[in-house]
Amino acid sequence: MRNGLYKVEVTSGRGFGRGVVVARDGRVFGGNGGYAFAGGAVGSSEEPGFEIATVRRNIGGDYRPIDGVAPFVLQGQRDATGYRLAGNTPLLGGEVTAVMSALSEDAAPPARPSGPDGIVNGLYSLTIRMLDGIDGGNTGLMLLHDGSIRGGDAYFAYLGAYESAGGRWKGELINHEHTPSQGERPVFGGKEVGIGFSGTYDVHGAIGEATALAGKRSIRFHAVLRKLVTI
């Protein structure tokens, strides 16, 4: 499976869901504000797919492992825009189909170098809370890997870069709407938003203060990242 950031749309016996997938050197990570998963690529270039080994559910901002879930495989074909996959798992009510569409990474800032004690590469949950009296927040996922950020949720993709050393980190991020949010994210919906952030980290995750520029509007928010899977 080609490295990259993808939008994924899943249809199953439990309904329809949407999120993002990051493929990186034979491993896959993804999900949305409700679920996170990790696994590995399988198959061949003619019949690509991936095996989901770990699934977590977001409960009150805390992605907890779902016990008793056997690994399952989604496998199919590559097309001009991504992949069409199918599989079967009791977790999603039986038959599952997934359509993965590649997202452009042209706007992504170049990865930044970090110190030897930099933030750990891995899949992180992201929870944000608006500041300055603005109601709202959001939850998504970020893959941090050697100074680059890729991630997203059901409506947005994240493309960014960071540097980290000595327990402090900073960086920049582009928040891009991959699917119209239908007014569910009024602050960022319909805009490509540039975000700058800085904060601290440890072995469990990171926190930061961020400022987003949405059109002519400047918006501050607090972000919490929690490490779910180490790369």
185 confidence band (pLDDT: 50, 70, 90): low
- Are residue 76 and residue 141 in the same domain, yes or no? no
What's 60's domain CATH number? 2.40.128.380
The answer to whether position 31 is within a domain reads yes
**pLDDT tens profile 192-217:** 789 999 999 999 999 999 998 877 77
**pLDDT tens profile 34-86:** 999 999 999 887 789 999 999 999 988 789 988 888 899 999 998 888 999 99
- Are residue 94 and residue 130 in the same domain, yes or no? no
- Ramachandran region, residue 189 (left: φ > 0; alpha: ψ -120 to 50; beta: rest): beta
Exposure string for 217-230, b = 16+ CB within 10 A, e = fewer: eebebbbbbebbbe
Owning domain of residue 35:
4-102
Look at the chain and report how many structural domains it folds into. Answer: 2
